Structure 1
């Protein structure tokens, strides 16, 4: 009898906990707005323009999710977060998802109780120095002062790299990328280190970007991607498959220009399922049939979003590299829509 009572209590408690954890999709629908955590400002990835409108590579993921759920890519409240505040904002429920150049690691996934829904940028940590410093390799930085954002994997990678190479450094802690940029340009540190994409973004804003060098060493794996809270698989599915929709759309040739008509004109069944003209994928997630089409229509497919915000024709100037489709030698790959 006692065992049955205890088991029943545990079951009720478990169900209650599950009910409390679940429901983000319903919350977003009821609110009519997606609360999306982003960086405090990283040009090309997430930054407000002169009119205060947020734009960038990570911002586009937020807008695609809002479009998939609410039918409106502008129904987003962007919440700036730092390396220190981002996880608290997500775990507390202040934001519904985090799309802030955040590295997928074991401890963040398991110990901090977050679910990474995929990778939207494969990156690695690098170093930027003034050309005048005369350094051509990170291994020549013995005794250097290094600006580094606190609360990031960058701190740990930096310590590992210098220890492995038996060289020393003096950290100059900064809270945000803007502070790091300011300190670096003011000469408070010899080196600025963060994800290589972030360094390219930061350098692009300098008055004389050519006066600064990105050193050749990439010292870590930094798979960056959006994340949600543990315990709400329904919401995790929505964010995960929205990201997959953008990736699959590029592979399948679905673009912002043809998304409104290709769903009915094509004979490709996967495109039809993706865009909701065939099958019931939207219904399975509690969304409209054309959720995928709405997500793609906002900013285009993954390739369009990349090219517009951070690609080789932008001041950021990033090549696709590992972020090319798997059919082009990259790591980008979406599971099937079926």
Structure 2
């Protein structure tokens, strides 16, 4: 079935067929790289630019959110290697990552980028040229047989004018389709990881925690200063950080049941590490329990209390320690299995 907008001349069914029987992420990221180039109004595109674009698009998903692509996925393993080789931070801007990779003089980086040329460009065109070898695909695409999405050359691809116009016109539809199917592909490989669709693109800005800070200000006003569960320091109103007990880079939300006040300096150093539950869960639970008791006594209509319903908490009965542990423990275990490190005890 052709899911892309119809064209009277172009064989758009072949473009749709590119994603049949997908076993790795490279097809998704290859087309996204091409669409990025089209957005920049480029028809002739260097391969190294496309390979770097593929990796920079996957960078945040792999390194920050630590979503698994599968043990054999070349993009995931390459992104992790390049992070160490190039010393690029896990949350660097995508354009900067791409530029660094293209301009790198390091032999290891050049070799890793070039490795994608062995399979990716010609295999993507297999719907146009089924059962054809690499050399034949290059020759047939250059001749324009079957109207391929692009013509393949040694160092670049060239998008024919009609395909370029088609991609330019429908870029949003095609990009959304790619991201939707990429999220489904990754969700199958990460069945217990929350919010995969929102882990595919680095957000321009993290949402503010102003409402959550006001929530904890009320708790401090009612009970006096709280103590940081990590350092034991007293936390006064206006002099603390609101921190994610389970890292934001795993849960990908700001729900109040996972947020507590903490010592400013410690929160900065904690990063996206996991708290060992045998050391910190009891104190975390006690602080959450105090917050619920405070609001149920003085402000039972507080909107942020709705966050607790998402984890099956009956606020009238209070926060059950056992049930709360049954929420937190699996999340910490899954995050650890996905590569998130624990704080040192």
TM-score by length of 1: 0.25
More helix by share: 2
More strand by share: 1
Structure number with higher relative contact order (C-alpha < 8 Å, ≥ 6 residues apart):
1
TM-score by length of 2: 0.24
Structure exhibiting the larger radius of gyration computed from Cα positions: 2
